[in-house]
Amino acid sequence: MATSIRGRASADDPRVILDEQIGVFEPIPPYPPRTEREGEFYTLGDGEMFINIGPQHPSTHGVLRIMMELDGETVLRAKPIIGYLHTGMEKQAEYKTYTQSIPQTDRMDYLSPMSNNLALCLHKLGRPADALPLVTRLVQEHPDFAETWLLLGRTQYLQNQPGAAEQSFRRFLQMDSESVNGHFQLGMSLLAQKRYPEAVATFRHATSLKRDFGPAFFNLGFALAKSGQEREAIPAFQEAIRHNPEIIDSYILLADLHLQLGEKPAAAELAKLAERLNPNDPRLPTLRRKLEQK
């Protein structure tokens, strides 16, 4: 029997605090309902129930959840919910350790999971040079697998070979032109080569494909600022903060940008927010001195 845990955030809406742990059978939700899922409960008739099909492997490959509304063995309604694999992978990798991320690299391409895992582990061990020949061999043996080119490009990038990485990412995008990760990685290689206008266009495309991609908005703002487009960089950094409010870098860079434009009040407010996130950040004293000088 599940132990009651008070103050548990709802899996549907973290802003809602539930009174008890959710077990195999969920309790009757309060009325009026607080989340969409709780509201759906009150649409059920006598003898009806909701059952989730997926996401799991191998039947739906981890990407598809189907919420079934049943009356006995009769399916009344089926609601498909897509996007679990890649969206979950990207967000989870932002806060997981290397060890915890191994299942993520395992699922990036289930045709060659071991190669992805091996490259991750070698990088963690500080041996990217050992990973490069293995990944290169993988590309030679499977040149038609798009993900191998993405893996090669990332390995080359970590080996400080941004030019070679760019070519690998472009080869990958020839096979998968709408890959958000592919455009993001290409933009990173262009930034490393200080080709800021091209990086701006690349990150713009990445954010158009995934409008909640905070890191892409951050890099877009950085590339715009480096291109001399400080005013245009501000909304990009604001979007980065909106999607990833826990990342202090966005606050500090945006505050510095406002100072360059002579907008001290906006910079001061951002500095306060950054200090709340991490009062010990070594960049904050420099930012405070700039504010005092202005």
Confidence check: pLDDT of 77 > 60: yes
Task: Find tokens 């060659």 and name the residue.
Answer: 112
Confidence check: pLDDT of 5 > 80: no
**Per mean pLDDT, which of 7-11, 12-16, 242-246 is the most reliable?**
242-246
Lowest-confidence region among 119-123, 153-157, 208-212, 276-280: 119-123
CATH 1.25.40.10 domain extents, the chain: 102-177
**What is the tens place of the pLDDT at every residue in 101-149?**
888 777 766 666 777 787 778 777 777 778 888 788 878 888 888 888 9
Q: What is the mean pLDDT of residues 23-31?
A: 66
Q: What Rg, from alpha-carbon coordinates, does the chain have?
A: 23
Confidence check: pLDDT of 165 > 70: yes
Distance CA 172, CA 165 (A): 11
CATH number for the segment(s) 102-177:
1.25.40.10
Q: What is the mean pLDDT of residues 161-189?
A: 94
Confidence of residue 64 (pLDDT cuts 50, 70, 90): confident
270 or 27, which is more confident: 270
Please state, for a pLDDT cut of 90, what percent of the chain lies above it: 39
**DSSP state, residue 190:** H
Q: What is the mean pLDDT of residues 205-216?
A: 91
Edge-to-edge, what's the strand order for the sheet holding 48-53?
Answer: 48-53, 64-71, 74-82
Lowest-confidence region among 96-105, 192-201, 221-230: 96-105
Structure tokens, 194:
């200080």
Q: Give the model's pLDDT for residue 4.
A: 44
- Which residues, including other chains, have CB under 8 Å from residue 174's CB and lie 6 or more apart? none
Confidence check: pLDDT of 3 > 50: no
Confidence check: pLDDT of 199 > 70: yes
Q: Answer whether 209's CB lies under 8 Å from 178's CB.
A: yes
23 or 233, which is more confident: 233
Confidence check: pLDDT of 244 > 60: yes
Q: What is the mean pLDDT of residues 160-185?
A: 93
Of 223, 278, 269, 218, whose CA–CA distance to 248 is shortest?
A: 278
Confidence check: pLDDT of 154 > 60: yes
Q: What is the mean pLDDT of residues 28-37?
A: 76
Confidence check: pLDDT of 173 > 80: yes
Neighbours of 216 (CB within 10 A): 29
pTM for the model: 0.62
Q: What is the mean pLDDT of residues 27-40?
A: 75
Of 275, 270, 274, 268, whose CA–CA distance to 293 is shortest?
A: 268
**What is the tens place of the pLDDT at every residue in 253-266?**
999 999 999 999 99
Which helix (H) or strand (E) segment is 238 a member of?
helix 230-243
